[in-house]
Structure 1
């Protein structure tokens, strides 16, 4: 294992089209206050067999670091000898001064069809109460392997990961546009038609439109009771970094009605995957359904780009319609996709009493946050 120059790293990712955008070098530019490096695993022949973007956060007052591989590393998790990659990773990070490491293995763990989730909603219900439509054998095997090697899933059974453990994904591979339309539920199809009839116009914006997106995001946060904690400069930096790496990697979609932007959503594209990242909308004229029109356009564009799936990112684990977060899940269920539980994020401290003490202190710090 050794450091991997950026050009070599990007060439490797080009052959691994399923890699997350969080493992691209541009993401390191987005993450302020974190150091970073790109590393690779090589066979003795020189063949590159795995790679990762590692982010390092320094523990205050020390020369020690928390190492983080968001939705990484980019390796073949189906390799029975994957331990040959994880042990050198820990050794490399220990030499770099890491007291602990967190990573996000990419195999899925369990999946539920939208119809099964909708049928299971009720007071006090959670997704863990519902028998999964499908359990991914690879995900289950990787989880067992990590657990037996001393890795711990962050937060146990709770949603304590930095990246969402529960996500909603719409399969696109091999599906026609009419099939995508038919997969939307009746309410979604009605709302898309309503937006079209009302004259809602969908356009792709530019960096100059980010302040309007951010204004709508602040309205959305106040209305829906959440706080992302990101500044306008964060989105400017993200837009600049991702599109400098690959033009069009991050897009800003706007829904206009009667000359006013009523909704704005961001989309990220890498390889064979497309993500809906952040959505924002106004409080007024919601009856013209701008967000439904935006998502339908983004789904269609993702399909036209050749994406294998459209990842709508995080959803809550609650299935109780009376709980506030359920509204987001209900909205995404209408696309006819799948509720997916990923493997989540896994941590392990480095050996040594000092590293274990720093790890416990860092966990307490994260708990306070």
Structure 2
């Protein structure tokens, strides 16, 4: 397909946008200038293989004239889901696109992107900008717990100015933040995540950053003979069995099948060997806990954790996380992302238990910009978008 050329932005800048092949896309992710951490795993080409029922497109764009003319300056993995009974699709860029969000001329790439998606039959678009919004350190969160309290009630330790600017730019262009501004319940990806910084820290620093309960539990696991190792695809059924137990015990449901995790494991590791690992904690020969870890560039994510209902006193999950933290540090990761935490700070709320557990690692709660949506031009598209939102709410 030929490049789509437009004149866009607040000034005379011109941009091109076109489909790109997988290798070109991956090369851009690997060499992206000015991004020490690298992209999220949801924008890797392999993620399209994990999501059945969605079509995918790899798109790239860059300046048409001036410095860097013809070179890529941004890319996006776009997932397209057809709305039942129509030929129209919902376009989703999970935690994307991958671009320079500090560039004030956002229209230079956003306008051609929306034009292209409209040509593909999209009636609405959802994106997940990468800049952070606010951060709270572990001490601040611990000190702010209380009946009915939420993160939005607590003064942040840090506000990211870029995140504030990006949010203002999107609102000015008619984009709407998904769900409640306080909680992000309508976001497909967690708005509040927990991250442990690793850059410039030694293993001793990581150990001293753990609270006393975590250090005590790790020592207990070691004394009890808990053994931690890396499994393989043959261990996924046991991981999934433990995950089912965890969902029943803790009152949540991810809605994923064993086949989903097999597909994820195969797709991510085919793209980059070792991209997804399955860690297992055994005690007296029995697997008591299993956690998945994903690595892209210098970022590491603890994605999904599962544990048995018995022998919890030997603390297999703490042992697993300590091993995963050390492995992430040893491979040069700059941060260890423990993924989502709820917005509640109410100790009586069952969901707060997850936050309490992650706080013990001494990291930070980070509020991302969350996900943003816009309906594409046209009365019919706006009507279909309203119907789609109602459909998703009922699901």
Alignment TM class, shorter chain as reference: over 0.9
Deviation of 1:15 after TM superposition, in Å, equals 1.5
**1:210 aligned onto 2:236:** yes
Superimposed CA distance per residue, residues 140-195 of structure 1 (whole angstroms, 9 cap, x where no aligned partner): 01001101110000003232100000000000011110001000000000000100
**1:126 aligned onto 2:146:** no
Q: Is the 8 A contact 2:228 2:279 kept in 1?
A: yes
**1:69 aligned onto 2:103:** no
What does residue 271 of structure 1 align with? 297
What does residue 103 of structure 2 align with? 79
| TM-score (structure 1 length as normaliser) | 0.99
**1:172 aligned onto 2:172:** no
**1:13 aligned onto 2:29:** yes
**1:3 aligned onto 2:29:** no
SS of equivalent residue, structure 1 residue 306: coil
Q: Is the 8 A contact 2:30 2:38 kept in 1?
A: no
- 78, 81, 86: which is aligned to 1:54? 78
Superimposed CA distance per residue, residues 5-26 of structure 1 (whole angstroms, 9 cap, x where no aligned partner): 1110000010235200000011
What does residue 22 of structure 1 align with? 42
- 226, 231, 238: which is aligned to 2:252? 226
Structure with the bigger RCO (C-alpha within 8 Å, sep 6+) is 1
Structure 2: 5+ residue stretches without partners: 1-16
Structure 1: 5+ residue stretches without partners: none
**1:261 aligned onto 2:315:** no
Deviation of 1:222 after TM superposition, in Å, equals 0.4
**1:107 aligned onto 2:131:** yes
Superimposed CA distance per residue, residues 212-265 of structure 1 (whole angstroms, 9 cap, x where no aligned partner): 000000000000000000000000000000000000000000000000000000
Q: Is the 8 A contact 2:294 2:300 kept in 1?
A: yes
In 1: Cα distance, 2:114 partner to 2:201 partner: 41
In 2: Cα distance, 1:303 partner to 1:365 partner: 43
Larger CA deviation: 234-243 vs 80-89 = 80-89
Deviation of 1:82 after TM superposition, in Å, equals 1.9
What does residue 39 of structure 1 align with? 59
Deviation of 1:78 after TM superposition, in Å, equals 0.6
**1:299 aligned onto 2:325:** yes
In 2: Cα distance, 1:39 partner to 1:324 partner: 42
